[in-house]
Structure 1
Amino acid sequence: MFTPSQHDVRRFFCEAYRKHQGNEILTPLEAIARDWIMQHPEYHEGLRDVEEALAADYSVERGQTNPFLHLSMHLSITEQISIDQPPGIRAAFQLLAQRRGSEHEAHHEIMEALGEMIWNAQRSGLPPDGAAYIENIKRRAQG
């Protein structure tokens, strides 16, 4: 399993943004990252300088959204949907996106459900519950 460090993740997104700005060839994963970066122009400034990105502090106490965590969650959810893992996420996503009228908005709601699943697993000491995660997303699509 690949477990990149915080700096690896930040370098990856900064490099994808740099390559996009320079009209360079992107890897398939960088192209997906670029697509999400383009949907978040509020993060562009923070992606321009890799050294500043590496030094940035996005602690809860500072009250700032961590753009690298946010973009990483978009990538993770994109991958989950593409391989339908956990089973049912693709259909749940499609339903949620249809109800919200936006794939991007659906991603943001799925992020909340993903965060809840991880928090519940950490609190209980049990593995993440993929079925409960999918049910959470389906409930969001109904509401």
Structure 2
Amino acid sequence: MFTPSQHDVRRFFCETYRKVEAGEILTPLEAIARDWIVQHPEYAGDLASVDEALAADYSVERGRSNPFLHLSMHLSIAEQISIDQPPGIRAAFLGLAQRLGSEHNAQHEMMECLGEMIWQSQRSGLPPDGASYVECVRKR
């Protein structure tokens, strides 16, 4: 399993942003990341400098959302949808996107469910409950 560090993730998104700005060829994963970066122009300043990104503090106390976490969640959810894992997540996403009229907004709603599932798993010490995650998305 690939487990990138916080710095690896920040470097990945900054490098993808740099390549997009320079018009360079992207890897398939970078192309998916680009699609989400483009939909979040408010993060351009956070992605423009690797050194600043590595030093940035997005702790709750600072009152600022973490653009790297947000973009990572978009990537994770896109992958889940593409392989329908956990089973049923693709159909739940499509239903939510249709109800909201936006795939992007549907992903933002899914982030709440994904965060809840991860929090419950960490709190209980049990594996993530994919079925409850899918059900949460369906209920949105």
TM-score by length of 2: 0.99
- Give secondary structure in 1 for the equivalent of 2:65: coil
The one-letter amino acid of 1:70's match is H
C-alpha displacement at 1:123, in angstroms?
A: 1.3
After the TM superposition, which residues 1-143 of structure 1 pair with which residues of structure 2 at under 5 Å, given as runs? 1-140=1-140
Which AA in structure 2 matches 1:51?
D
**Shift of residue 125, structure 1, vs aligned partner:** 1.3
Instruction: Letter of the 2:31 partner, please give it.
Output: A
1:124 is displaced (CA, Å) by 1.2
SS of equivalent to 1:87:
coil
**In angstroms, what is the RMSD of aligned CA positions?**
0.5
Name structure 2 gaps, 5 residues minimum: none
Point out 4+ residue stretches in structure 1 off by more than 2 angstroms: none
User: Percent identity between the aligned chains?
Assistant: 79
Q: How many residues align?
A: 140
Aligned counterparts of 2:45 and 2:121: Cα–Cα separation in 1: 34
Give the Å deviation of 1:49.
0.6
Judge which range, 13-22 or 117-126, deviates more.
Answer: 117-126
Q: Deviation at 1:30?
A: 0.2
User: For the residues of structure 1 that align with 2:117 and 2:99, how far apart are their CA atoms?
Assistant: 22
Which blocks of at least 5 consecutive residues in structure 1 are unaligned? none
Deviation at 1:122, TM superposition (A): 1.2
